[in-house]
Amino acid sequence: MTILEELALLPSKAWLANTPVVSYSLRNYIGNNVNELGEVPTTLKEYKEAILKVINYGHLYKNMRESVQKHYSYEKIAERIDFVLKELNKNKSN
C-alpha cells in the first residue's frame, strides 16, 4: 500500500477506534452525520480551533465506529462501485 492510500484510510481507522477526526477531507464523507465524527476546517485558524475542540470536547463526537461499518464496509463500497459502473454503462448506451 502506498503512502497516499494509507493517508486516505486514516479517518476510517481513527473512527474504528472511536477517535474524532480533524480534516478538510471530511467534506467527502458519505453519511449525513459528519458533525458527530469530527471537524472540517478550511483555514489554518479553523484547524487550530478544531483540534482544540476535539481535545476539549471529545464527548461531543459519537457513533464513529458504527458510521464506518455502515458506510464504508466492503459490502457498501462494492454496492456503490456497482451502482456507478451500471450508471456509466447506461449512459454509454444512450
Residues 6+ apart with CB under 8 A from 24: 40, 41, 42
Q: What is the pTM of this model?
A: 0.71
Mean pLDDT per 10-residue segment, the chain (94 residues): 83 90 88 89 97 95 89 86 91 70
pLDDT for 94 equals: 63
pLDDT of residue 1: 76
Nearest to 71 by CA among 30, 20, 38, 18: 30
Predicted local confidence at residue 83, as pLDDT? 92
